[in-house]
Amino acid sequence: MGTLLIPILLIPLIIAIGSLFRLCGRRWWWCNQVADHIESHWRWNASLGVLKESYGVASICVCIGFRSLAWDSAGGVINSVLVCFAPVFLIAPVVIGAVYMYQNYDTLSKKALKEKIGVAYEDLKNYQRIPFSDFISYPSFFFVRRLFLAMTVVFLKNHFYVQALLLIAQGLVATMILATHKPHLTRSSNYFEVMNEVAVLVTIYHLFLMTDYVQELKTKRALGYSMVGVMALQALICIIVSIG
Amino acid sequence: MVQIERFVKISKYTIVFTVASLLLLNYWLLLLMNNLQGMIEAQQVLVLIPLTDVRLPAFVHLVFSMLLEIASFDYFETGELFEKVVDTKHSEPLD
């Protein structure tokens, strides 16, 4: 998360620079052009990109915050109040994003909107040809899944089997959505996403064999190698195909 | 005159070749980024596995800690920088 904090801190700076150029635009015409460029290319795209990548980690942080609510000290109260407001920041962007895209559905393919918020739907299929419900389901599911994953992992900490079953259920739903809706732009992207989801599912299946169901340490060690092997294979295939 | 024509012709081909190469490179980089982004998104789900109530072998934890660095974009050491910018003091953990 550390490196992602750099753009998070830079976004207000970018917005401030844009406003500064807009102010200078009253005197020098080219400043207006720079301000337009910053507003159209950076303000929303940068924020949305960072939100997308840090959503999983942010969800985990909020869930852990809920688990450690404390009202007995000043620091604890401040922390708890902040944590109580945090879900708004997690859920609001998803809802606002879905409503905004719904309202601007016909203009999503326009260059101006693509430059502004294109990062939210950049690799998705030609949204004019598929029903809107299909288009909206995947970007929303991306966020909702991460939120549920974080909740499953943090709140069901002591209930491994429920946790594992929910993880598998989420993986299966994700695979089904990818396989049936094929939301991505190219066929290869769709195959890649399905492959990634299957790799995640297979890795999660290994968890069942890491419990007391398997007693031998030797077997558990072999299963550990298999688990690492699946993850390494997935990464290797992605890298090889990306380069080739 | 012939030399000028040849120069113009070579320049034209050079520009066309450069633009075409840049377009190809752009397309390839976009494709590469999309695939790598997909890989990182899958890894963001995978790194949650050690948080489950299962005892994994030690070397699996090692691999997961390496994955965590990729999935959470921890490519640079930023701890000291943020301590300077935010000026926070370390406190006792709540939990």
Q: What whole-number distance in Å separates Cα of residue B71 and Cα of residue A55? A: 12
Instruction: Tell me the CA distances in angstroms from B34 to A131, A184, A192, A241, B27, one per residue in order.
Output: 24, 10, 10, 11, 11
Q: What whole-number distance in Å separates Cα of residue B75 and Cα of residue B69? A: 7
Enter the DSSP assignment of A43. I
Residue B12 has pLDDT above 80, yes or no: no
In a domain, A17, yes or no: no
Residue B31 confidence class, pLDDT cut points 50, 70, 90 = low
B37, B56, B95: residue with CB nearest A210: B56
Mutate to test the interface with B, among A1, A195, A217, A238 (most CBs of B within 10 A): A238
Domain count, chain A: 1
In a domain, A95, yes or no: yes
Sequence-ordered list of residues with C-beta below 8 angstroms from that of A24, at least 6 positions apart, any chain: A31
Question: What's residue B32's pLDDT?
Answer: 65
**What length is written for chain B?**
95
Q: What whole-number distance in Å separates Cα of residue A208 and Cα of residue B68? A: 22
Which sequence spans correspond to the domains of chain B? 1-44, 47-87
Residue B34 has pLDDT above 70, yes or no: no
A75, A146, A242: residue with CB nearest B31: A242
Q: Which two tokens stand for residue A111?
A: 């260059």
**Alpha-carbon gap: B94 to the closest alpha carbon of chain A (Å):** 7
- Spacing of C-alpha B76 from chain mean position: 12
Beta carbon pairs, A and B, within 8 Å? 117
Q: In this prediction, what percent of chain B has a pLDDT beyond 90?
A: 0
Number of Cβ within 10 Å of residue A120's Cβ equals 21
Residue B65 confidence class, pLDDT cut points 50, 70, 90 = confident
CB A63 within 8 A of CB A151: yes
Question: What's residue A225's pLDDT?
Answer: 92
Question: What's residue B82's pLDDT?
Answer: 64
Residue with more model confidence, B57 or B2: B57
B54, B63, B94: residue with CB nearest A211: B54
Contact B85 A9 (CB under 8 A): yes
**Alpha-carbon gap: B2 to the closest alpha carbon of chain A (Å):** 42
Residue B94 confidence class, pLDDT cut points 50, 70, 90 = low
Question: What's residue A2's pLDDT?
Answer: 58
pLDDT along chain A (244 residues), means of 10: 64 81 82 79 74 80 83 80 84 81 75 73 62 66 85 86 89 86 79 88 90 87 92 87 72
What's the whole-model pTM score? 0.74
Here the ipTM equals: 0.73
Question: What's residue A134's pLDDT?
Answer: 63
Q: Find the closest chain A residue to B69 by CA distance.
A: A1
Domain that holds residue A219: 55-243
Question: What's residue A13's pLDDT?
Answer: 80
For B68-93, the DSSP string reads HHHHTT--S--HHHHHHHH-------
Give the largest Cα separation in chain B, rounded: 83
Question: What's residue A131's pLDDT?
Answer: 63
